[in-house]
């Protein structure tokens, strides 16, 4: 199971994401999109909150490519 998160209601999504990660040991989160939709510090803060909640081993950084030339 894989869940991807973006900008929409990020705080509420992270709250539920942490609950899902706690309940399902086979759930991983891809945070690649965060760098495109959040300011750098906010992105780091959200990733750090997942690591601090001891889900660091289930964070993936995918190869999402921002739409556009090149």
Contacts of 22 (CB under 8 A, 6+ apart): none
Strand intervals (E) in the chain: 2-4, 28-30, 59-60
Domain borders along the chain are: 2-60
Per-residue pLDDT of the chain (70 residues; tens, 9 = 90+): 445 555 556 777 788 889 999 999 999 988 887 777 778 888 898 899 999 999 999 998 876 666 666 5
Determine contact, residues 28/20, Cβ cutoff 8 Å. no
Q: How far apart are CA 29 and CA 56, in angstroms?
A: 10
Quote the pLDDT of residue 53.
94
Quote the pLDDT of residue 69.
61
Quote the pLDDT of residue 67.
62
């Amino acid at each position: 199971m894989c869940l991807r998160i973006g900008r929409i209601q990020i705080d509420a999504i992270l709250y539920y994401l942490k609950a899902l990660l706690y309940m399902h040991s086979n759930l991983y989160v891809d945070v690649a999109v965060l760098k495109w939709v959040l300011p750098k510090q906010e992105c780091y803060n959200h990733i750090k909150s997942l690591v601090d909640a001891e889900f660091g081993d289930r964070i993936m950084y995918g190869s999402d490519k921002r739409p556009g030339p090149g």
